Structure 1
Amino acid sequence: MASSSYFLFAALLVLASWKAIASDPSPLQDFCVADNNSRVLVNGFVCKDPKDVKAEDFFLAAKLDTPRDTKTNKVGSNVTLINVMRIPGLNTLGISLARIDYAPLGENPPHTHPRATEILTVLEGTLYVGFVTSNPNNTLLSKVLNKGDVFVFPEGLIHFQFNPNPYKPSGHCCT
């Protein structure tokens, strides 16, 4: 009886002194380039045969340094989205990129991304940005950003961007 108590105590001591190790599992493959010719959809797009993958599958000459027209929609903004539809190599990687240009007083109305955190970098001008917490008390967290500033919108939270300048356009790029 004493030896079993001693063994249990020793086992608990070993477990208590063991450092916890936690991480995401490694992917099963390096990448899964979307096969846009396949009609089968499984958690994204079917993977292209890795032997057929080329550098072009991870590249797009998007010219994101060029401002876009903001006069064609009612909210005064223009979103240039870079996702798996434009770069097949993004398939299953859980990341996309967007450039948003704002007219004077233009906005990106309140919206949410249920499966992704967004990080925003102001490229030009000024933006008033914010998000609403869901816990504990629906608080608005907001900030005025200037060129070069960065702001993070946590996954799933309602957020917005607004160009407060009535005279100058603004632009940002986010992932």
Structure 2
Amino acid sequence: MALRFLILAFAILAMASSVAHASDPSQLQDFCVAINDSKAAVFVNGKICKNPMEVNADDFLFQGLNKPGNLSNPLGSAVTAVNVNNLEGLNTLGISLARIDFAPYGLNPPHTHPRATEVLTVLEGTLYVGFVLSNPAPGMKNKLFTKTLYPGDVFVFPEGLIHFQFNIGHSNAIAFAGLSSQNPGVITIANAVFGSDPPINPDVLTKAFQVENKVIEYLQSQFWYNNNNN
């Protein structure tokens, strides 16, 4: 019996380890500074590595997060992302960062990060934030978790779940977010559904949203703004 429990314990530990590393893999060396070369002959799950002998301190430096994003857009928000695409030293390290600026009543609209959990902290302003659970039980709706955040508050958005941030204050707001991937990705829901190229067949969306065709055609005709500065 004791041997069975020991084997089971090792199996659970192995599964837990597998889940914990289900996103970005751990690095097998001190660093792997990325080479941003679209014509590179080698493709890997991430970026190919720069010759370590050619790496310098600038490969690990990004400057500019002290500067606010441009808020003169329909959403009144701007995301300044720091990921492997603009900081090559992040390659294989499984982490990235973003600054999010909000005008009064500015919105970072419902979106997901398919490869990362996000932890957000507010520096200035008041944000109403939330995320929606997946896979509701039969007969139930997707549960919404929301909170009003003030300077110094921290909130977590689990990997892959739809979430948002909305400035409910009368002044600008600033938040910083850490993400558990070197390249978390972002899918803004409205943009992806109604602004895809080519457009999704309106018959699909009419049935999915249970509205008239003219509503879908109107939504697909709109300009869907991207507030992410990568």
Pairwise same-fold verdict (TM > 0.5): yes
Q: Name the structure 2 match of 1:149.
A: 153
| 135, 142, 145: which one aligns with 1:138 | 142
Greater share of residues in helix: 2
Total equivalences in the alignment? 161
Q: Which whole-Å deviations, capped at 9, do the CAs of 1:79-134 have from their partners, x for residues lacking one?
A: 11111122101112232211010000000000001110011010101100000001
Q: Name 1:61's counterpart in structure 2.
A: 63
TM-score, structure 2 normalization: 0.64
Residues 1:32 and 2:21 are matched in the alignment: no
With the length of structure 1 as denominator, give the TM-score of the two structures: 0.83
Q: Kindly tell me: are residues 75 and 57 of structure 1, through their superposed partners in 2, closer, same or farther at Cα, counting changes over 3 Å? A: same
**Residues 143-168 of structure 1, C-alpha deviations (whole Å, 9 max, x = no match):** 00000100000000000000012x21
Say which one has the larger Rg: 1
* Higher mean displacement: 22-31 or 146-155: 22-31
Moved over 4 A (4+): none
Task: Indicate how the Cα distance of structure 1 residues 104 and 32 shifts in structure 2: closer, same or farther if over 3 A, else same.
Answer: same
Q: Does 1:107 align with 2:107?
A: yes
CA contact under 8 A between 2:27 and 2:92: conserved in structure 1?
A: no
Structure 2: runs of 5+ lacking an equivalent: 179-230
Range moving further from structure 2, 20-29 or 138-147: 20-29
Counterpart of 1:163, as a letter, is N
Q: Alignment identity in percent?
A: 59
| Alpha-carbon distance in 2 for matches of 1:93, 1:17 | 33
CA RMSD in angstroms, aligned pairs only: 2.0
